[in-house]
Chains A and B, each alone.
Chain A
Amino acid sequence: MKNRFKNLSQRQRDLSMGLISIVLILVVSMVASDSIIDFLARMVIYMLFASAVNIILGFGGLRPLGQGTYFGFTAYAYLFMVVRMHIPLAAAIFLALLLNLILAAFVGTVCLRANDDMAFAFMNMGFNTLLWTLIQKLQIVGSDTGITGSVRLPFALSTRANFYLTFIVCIICITAIYLFFRSPFAKILKGSRENIERLTFIGVNTRNVRLTAYIVSGFFCGIAGLLYSMRNMGAFPSMISSGTSLEGLIMCLIGGMYSFFGPILGAAIVTFINVQLPIITNFYQSIFGVIIVLCVLFLQGGLLKDKAVLNLDDKKKKLLNKRGERA
């Protein structure tokens, strides 16, 4: 079995892993109770969120410390339009995603202006904090308590139906991200991660490449936020906080940010920890911290790696062994 898996090409591997995870989640959801389905919905949404973050993190090579902005902003925009302005649901979804795109374009343009990695990370986080404080202070968006309302779509009102809707949308979006990763544009994006001077030298406008990736990432984060607001039937300040953004990063880190399925696996693990640990102990954050530290120190590539990376590692090991024999 293991050998057979080794012989598969990268594309076949991705396909088989995707199919296995889809079938697994589907089977679990068939037999599970409502509370487990609620948990599964959260997991699936975070999978989409983590892979959206990974567009700019693992493949873009930037450090987005504030992707939670789009996660929360879309939810807030949607809830605000539906509950406060009484716009029909379909129009509100469309408008919320459009607003999210505009915000992503604006923030991306500003953040990438300095053309400095650290400045980008900090600006990103700054915007996130800004929006978070704004939302916590504004009475019209419910300040601390957030907005709640019946925002589920009319054909998906029950927990189970809403989960299947979420699941289908997430599968479509994750497939879209996968196709995005196989496009020629993603090759240039990876190039900008590896060697940006060289790419500039060839004549590629690297800032535009990064900006496009940033906007795409923000868009998918927004879809995840929209689904999350439907699951919770509300938008809350914690969705837009920097905690959400960092959770996304940690998911990518644990799962492995240089492979496509890494963030998805990481999202499953982190969501499981986040939901189950607080039941057992009061100090779950410190255990989470220990996990992060151990992962950073001893598991830098993450759990999953691409075939090419694995082959490279094997070659390195062989080379080191040869050198050892000679000496």
Chain B
Amino acid sequence: MTVPFFFQTLVTGLSSGMISYMMVAGMSLIISGMNMVNFGQGAFFVLGTYLTYTITAHIGFIPSLIIAPLVVGGLGWFVERAVRPLFGKNMLYIMLLTFGVAYIVCDGMIMIWGYAIRLMKLPSFLNKSVAIFGIYFPTYYLFMIAVGLLIAISFWIMMNKTKLGMMMRAIIKDREMVACLGINVNKLFSIMFMLGTGIAGLGGVLNAPITGMSPKEGLSIFGNIMPILMIGGMKNMNGCLPAALLVGLVNAFGAIYLPQFYNLLPAALMVICMFIRPQGIFTKKEAA
């Protein structure tokens, strides 16, 4: 493997890791904050992709980066309202409800956009390659990494430095106490869920120019992000980014060395991680 090729694979892996990070970040926020699993995350991801196709055709790619996540997040609000009466009951109900929602969203997409797998054209300033130290990289991949980092940093700042983030962290630790202090927990849940689905939608937007998506994929995509969730630690939001990047890199290099089995590597990695540390590799040990 030559050096330029190595670096190009590195960038590919990192960019695909960033896309999965966006899905997992929302997912992990929902899991740790609301203690529920959103199976619809993949469907929202694909919805973001399809919205991009339509919006880009009419307005352009950059506006769709803002509009599509907002629309997807707005849809998340409805789902959250449907889930609300089920809190505190068997967790399975919420899982199956989000799964049913995913079914409906996927079929709705087929109704609107049809089965055909689409591709879209990038704006010309992203559709180039840049030479860094004599190695050529596609601009769009670098753009994806930049957006991903931006999201990760702003997410971290929001969680750790703002009042909203403070309340969210408090909810993760002790929900009843937060409710007792007179904070509107339901409203916070809505915001959390909308954030989670919106970030997934943004990931879908970024993914749109790279791989064609079919609406049916919304259901199976969950299998791809679950290993990341387990490797990063289920209820550990800080573990998402390293885990997603790790899986992205493993995927990129696996595609070169083990082309037949590269789909398998994340799941295998997850099983190995579960043997070593069941609570996730990037989880710090809790002080007793």
Contact = CB atoms under 8 A, between A and B. Distances in A.
Contact of A290 (B31, B104, B260, B267): B104
B263 interface: yes
A296 interface: yes
12 contacts: A57-B92, A119-B234, A119-B278, A122-B226, A122-B234, A123-B274, A246-B96, A253-B96, A283-B110, A290-B104, A293-B82, A296-B97
A45 B219 CA distance: 25
Contact of A126 (B85, B93, B230, B279): B230
B268 A130 contact: yes
Given A63-B95, A246-B99, A292-B96, A300 B267 contact: no
B164 interface: no
Contact of B278 (A114, A129, A242, A292): A114
Interface of B: 31, 37, 82, 85-86, 89-93, 95-97, 99-104, 106-108, 110-111, 219-220, 223, 226-227, 229-230, 234, 260-261, 263-264, 267-268, 270-271, 274-275, 278-279
Contacts of B106: 285-286
B89 A300 contact: yes
Closest 10 CB pairs between A and B? A289-B103, A286-B107, A292-B100, A114-B278, A130-B267, A289-B104, A129-B223, A289-B100, A293-B100, A296-B97
B279 to A, nearest CB: 7
Contact of B227 (A126, A137, A246, A291): A126
Given A242-B223, A289-B107, A293-B104, A117 B96 contact: no
Interface string A294-318: 0011001000000000000000000
A42 B234 CA distance: 37
* Size bracket, chain A contacts: 35 or more
Nearest to A257: B92
B108 A286 contact: yes
B230 A118 contact: no
Interface of A: 57, 63, 65, 110, 113-114, 116-119, 121-123, 125-127, 129-130, 132-134, 136-137, 242-243, 246, 249-250, 253, 282-283, 285-286, 288-293, 296-297, 300
**Chief secondary structure at chain B's binding surface:** helix
A129 B101 contact: no
B237 to A, nearest CB: 15
A136 to B, nearest CB: 8
Given A126-B227, A285-B106, A286-B107, A137 B100 contact: no
B114 to A, nearest CB: 11
Q: Give the most central of A125, A133, A134: most B CB within 10 Å.
A: A133
Contact of A125 (B104, B226, B234): B226
A288 B229 CA distance: 28
A122 B229 contact: yes
A300 B89 CA distance: 10
B279 A114 contact: yes
Contact of A289 (B93, B102, B223, B229): B102
B96 A126 contact: no
A137 B261 contact: yes
Given A63-B91, A110-B275, 6 more contacts: A123-B274, A126-B271, A130-B270, A293-B104, A297-B85, A297-B97
Nearest to B275: A110
A296 B261 contact: no
A130 B268 CA distance: 7
A132 B267 CA distance: 11
